[in-house]
A and B are shown apart, each in its own frame.
Chain A
């Protein structure tokens, strides 16, 4: 592994990343360095490559046909920056540390409890008691515990959209990831539920390195510590806290984007 120039500050370094599907370029020459300082929010028109960039970080793109990548991605794993594509990295272990929640809630067609227990059973060596303690812990973390504690055995598919989304978040958190990749976590939710999730993310940013795709400037402004603006597979803008707070930059962005 090459030594990294920046000491221990950045937790994500992307260098000259290109991703293509079936020969069609989707991400072009992405360079990015993220350090702590709040939630990173990806903004951009649909089709600009936001989801693909998220999936590059947990190597989920590799599961799609016709995928081709070049360039480097380094994440801070076990305390030090590591190139995630090096052969020593187990891709399943990487994905546990870099948890992802999809745009549409994807609960498993089974009970609420099993949605959380099953992944724990399949990827950790916790015993039954520890697993049950863990699911209570994460359900509390996403503020779902009081809503579902009476009906853990019921089918997860009967939960509302917002509840399902929080269940999916809890399922990811249960694996104790260091990173959270959130793909438009409020896209399918109503205004009030979206607010609740946003507040939840602001709490979670204390314990997780969060990179989220958002479809709304309002939301980005509320939760972001940094905004990355994408267009046609490239990063066209980066805003830090001051940029986000500045009253002129955001409307200008809006114009450019849509």
Chain B
């Protein structure tokens, strides 16, 4: 407690919380710092680990092998290109479906729809976040997949289409809650202003509040994409897992995440692993890039964006 007071004095005098020397001011701070250091170390270790094991591929000039179309481990071919394509196709198409839907739901909640329905709709979406992924996959396998099989009479039904429909549902709450929280900050202040100018609610929402929410709109797209890329279970359960580039949405695909899960659980040949690590590295870097991007748009949006 005494130490905390000295921290406060620093704040008023120097205008920042820690002294320039970085001295530790209260006991909890040591704990926090160690925790932060520890997490950072784990991330670096993870990166080093992935890089170390996939390094041979890079330095031995076997990148062509890695990015080939063929995954035939027993013939010595370890191409993961189909999985990369599969991941991108699935994530982008799921986002293309979930994003407009999520945006629509948010606009509905914030005034395009009747106020009476707004709250139940929001509760429903919030409830969706609590459902374990495996339940989505499970329901999809028993309801959606047979439905698609019968409807389109094309293959087994385990397909890009089945996976993207399920995954869209999975990432929908992420998108809705992000846009909703941004609109929740922006709308109350702007609505009264707009109303007093005789601007109708729909127009205020579309032409004033939405443009003022660009950070949330972008963040929702980026995080939604990130969740879609990172998801393993849905793809594993309903996408069919054929390691090739699909001809249509009715074809089976295999994502990088599902690929890693599958190979690790069935096979343990050493050469196979290098390509797995490369896949892991790609996923790791994608996630890192997504986080960096979020950080950048946030620091750009916030100084001017939240002036009321």
Contact = CB atoms under 8 A, between A and B. Distances in A.
B13 to A, nearest CB: 29
Given A118-B207, A122-B207, A155-B304, A110 B212 contact: yes
A112 interface: no
A122 B197 CA distance: 10
Interface stretch (B69-77, B100-108, B119-127, B188-196): B188-196
Contact of A175 (B192, B198, B208, B305): B198
A95 B197 contact: yes
B113 interface: no
Contacts, number: 62
B198 A108 contact: no
Interface in A150-172: 155, 157, 171-172
Contacts of B308: 106, 109
B212 A108 contact: yes
Contact of B196 (A60, A110, A118, A121): A60
Nearest to B207: A122
Interface string A71-103: 000000000000000000000111110011010
A3 B272 CA distance: 92
A129 interface: no
Interface residues of B, number: 23
A166 B246 CA distance: 61
B307 A109 contact: yes
A109 B189 CA distance: 10
Contacts of A155: 304, 307
B92 to A, nearest CB: 31
B16 interface: no
Interface string B177-220: 00000000000011111111111100110011001100000000
B307 A157 contact: yes
Given A58-B196, A122-B199, A106 B212 contact: no
A100 B304 CA distance: 25
Contacts of A94: 198
A119 interface: yes
Contact of B198 (A93, A121, A157): A93
B198 A123 contact: yes
Contacts of B203: 122
Contacts of A102: 192-193, 196
A130 B306 CA distance: 31
A95 B189 contact: no
A94 B198 CA distance: 7
**Residue picked from B204, B208, B305, most chain A C-beta under 10 Å:** B208
Contacts of A171: 197
A2 interface: no
A110 B193 CA distance: 14
A106 B308 CA distance: 7
Contacts of A121: 207
A34 B181 CA distance: 44
Given A108-B208, A109-B307, A118-B208, A95 B193 contact: no
Given A108-B212, A110-B212, A119 B197 contact: yes
Contacts of A95: 195-198
A175 B197 CA distance: 8
A58 B190 CA distance: 17
Interface of A: 58, 60, 63, 92-96, 99-100, 102, 106, 108-110, 118-119, 121-123, 155, 157, 171-172, 175
Closest 5 A-B residue pairs measured CB to CB? Answer: A96-B198, A95-B198, A157-B307, A92-B198, A100-B196
Given A119-B197, A122-B203, A175-B198, 13 more contacts: A92-B198, A95-B196, A99-B196, A106-B189, A106-B193, A108-B208, A108-B212, A109-B212, A109-B308, A118-B207, A122-B208, A172-B197, A175-B197
5 contacts: A92-B198, A94-B198, A102-B196, A119-B194, A123-B198
